[in-house]
Amino acid sequence: MTVALWCILIAIVLPYLCTLVAKISGGYRLQDNHDPRDFLDSLEGFGRRAHAAQLNSFEITPAFAAAVIVAHLAGNAELVTINVLSVLFITSRLLYIICYLADWAILRSLVWFVGAGLIVGLFWVSA
């Protein structure tokens, strides 16, 4: 498997790490498992931002996965280029989560645009 394909797995796991952070910071108990979505929706502050980062991570992951797969199937891009763009995307997602948790809204949005640009870049090098 290529580094880029491993990055898809990492992108799939990142939202669940955000969920874990949200639940731990909100004092999650096993009793809350009867309605975990209600619990997450009731969070405020840090936990709420971790939950929001989780939701955004779920939203962007399919586009990233599609871009990596298309880049591999098209065969027009060098593998090292696909791998570098994928690692940069994962790096942008980690920075995005950090910015979200720290409540750095403007920087978070800028980092999100970088990540979205990297997805476009994967399609671009595939053309």
Looking at residue 93, what is its pLDDT?
98
* CB within 8 Å of 37: residues ≥ 6 apart: none
Print pLDDT tens along the chain (127 aa). Answer: 999 999 999 999 999 999 999 988 888 776 667 788 888 888 999 999 999 999 999 999 999 999 999 999 998 999 999 999 999 999 999 999 999 999 999 999 999 999 999 999 999 999 9
- Say which CATH number the domain at 61 has: 1.20.120.550
**Domains held by the chain: number:** 1
Looking at residue 30, what is its pLDDT?
64
Looking at residue 5, what is its pLDDT?
97
Looking at residue 120, what is its pLDDT?
98
User: Per this entry, what is the length of the chain?
Assistant: 127
Full residue range of the structural domain in which residue 41 is found: 3-126
Looking at residue 31, what is its pLDDT?
64
User: For 64, phi and psi rounded to 5 degrees?
Assistant: -65, -45
HEC states along 33-74? Answer: HHCHHHHHHCCCHHHHHHHHHHHHHHHHHHHHHHHHHHHHHH
Q: Say what the pTM is.
A: 0.94
